[in-house]
A and B are shown apart, each in its own frame.
Chain A
């Protein structure tokens, strides 16, 4: 059996119907048997009802004219701002990707050009024979350049050798 002392402690919750089922059953049993605690519960219930009613009715802030619309506009603008910042971030990332790809492309092209024009002679490569009466030369930058002269009348063939600075280094018939 619940004591009056214990029951009085539960009155504030019991007045609002907020006791858990088991204590509520014990409390009800006590109230049924104890007129003093029942009166206390009724008085508390009444007071709580008044407090709730008056606190709810007390002038809480109301929305002013156009205040709500302005606030929702600010919220939507704030949300749109976040979205556009998100889009900006996505755009920036996209541009960065393109910049990186472009830089890589330029780097690769430079490397290919370097290999084509600045690297040494490819071992085993031979210069194709030039046509008659023409000057055949290797445009590729290399340590030794050759230039071949073929006479259309005599069929004589002369090969001149130059260094990479195009300084004459000798000839061979």
Chain B
């Protein structure tokens, strides 16, 4: 999916100095960006900061954007990089960093039944237990539907690395679901 004409025009307007064109350019991606950042950081406040920094970086480097590539994937790449940079900074800052799985409070999910809420909470916990790279790959490929090539491009790694981590992530998640929710495996 290439960039559509409207986006192309908006990019050209921003590059011509019309800053007001930036908001309509990025507004369609506000939901996906926040969802991606939330899944990668597992902290809403931090996710908001990631989105803000992502947009600022996108604004600054819009001149280098390759229009042959989907704009969404380009934004995702910046957001994934920003999330990773933040995680590394945090890990450096905290010498004895101990991640508590399930640190982020579960979002209110009133319409889901009890079983479903438990399942979602279980998936969230299992995702939190993945390695950072496994989580990134799983989120981009399975939840944001980027293909292997775009995922590898977004993460700056080889497609082989993406496949290895994706396979590990899926296997771990499936094992966790099988262990905690055996009834889902029946039939």
**A residues near B, CB below 8 A?**
9, 12-13, 15-16, 18, 20, 43-44, 47-48, 50-52, 54-63, 67-68, 71-72, 74-76, 78-80, 82
20 further interface pairs, Cβ-Cβ under 8 Å (given A16-B170, A61-B48): A12-B167, A13-B163, A18-B163, A43-B185, A44-B174, A47-B177, A47-B185, A55-B123, A57-B120, A58-B123, A60-B38, A61-B44, A61-B107, A72-B22, A72-B27, A75-B22, A75-B59, A76-B19, A79-B19, A82-B60
Q: Which of B44, B107, B143, B177 contacts A50 (CB 8 A)?
A: B177
Beyond A50-B184, A58-B107, whether A68 also contacts B27 by CB under 8 A is yes
The 3 closest A-B pairs by CB, nearest first: A59-B107, A12-B170, A58-B120
A151 to B174, CA, bound (A): 125
User: Which residues of the partner chain A approach B119 to less than 8 Å between Cβ atoms?
Assistant: 50, 54
| B106 touching A60, Cβ below 8 Å | no
Instruction: Scan residues 28-85 of chain B and give those whose CB is less than 8 A from a CB of chain A.
Output: 30-31, 34-35, 38-39, 44, 47-48, 51-52, 55-56, 59-60
| A61 touching B116, Cβ below 8 Å | no
B37's nearest neighbour on chain A, judged by CB, is A61
| A75 touching B55, Cβ below 8 Å | yes
Q: For chain A, what secondary structure do more than half of its interface residues adopt (helix, strand, loop), or is it mixed?
A: helix
A47 to B186, CA, bound (A): 11
A75 to B168, CA, bound (A): 37
| A63 touching B170, Cβ below 8 Å | no
Q: Which of A44, A57, A60, A72 contacts B39 (CB 8 A)?
A: A60
User: Which residues of the partner chain A approach B48 to less than 8 Å between Cβ atoms?
Assistant: 61, 67, 71
**B residues near A, CB below 8 A?**
19, 22-23, 26-27, 30-31, 34-35, 38-39, 44, 47-48, 51-52, 55-56, 59-60, 106-109, 112, 116, 119-120, 123-124, 127, 141-143, 148, 163, 166-168, 170-171, 173-174, 177-178, 184-185
User: Which residues of the partner chain B approach A20 to less than 8 Å between Cβ atoms?
Assistant: 163
Q: Which of A15, A16, A47, A79 contacts B59 (CB 8 A)?
A: A79
| A76 touching B22, Cβ below 8 Å | yes
| B166 touching A12, Cβ below 8 Å | yes
User: Which residues of the partner chain A approach B106 to less than 8 Å between Cβ atoms?
Assistant: 59
Beyond A63-B34, A75-B52, A80-B19, whether A18 also contacts B120 by CB under 8 A is no
A80's nearest neighbour on chain B, judged by CB, is B19
B174's nearest neighbour on chain A, judged by CB, is A47
User: Which residues of the partner chain B approach A79 to less than 8 Å between Cβ atoms?
Assistant: 19, 22, 56, 59-60
Q: Nearest-CB distance from A152 to chain B (Å)?
A: 79
Q: Nearest-CB distance from B84 to chain A (Å)?
A: 19
User: Which residues of the partner chain B approach A71 to less than 8 Å between Cβ atoms?
Assistant: 48, 51-52, 55
A68 to B47, CA, bound (A): 13
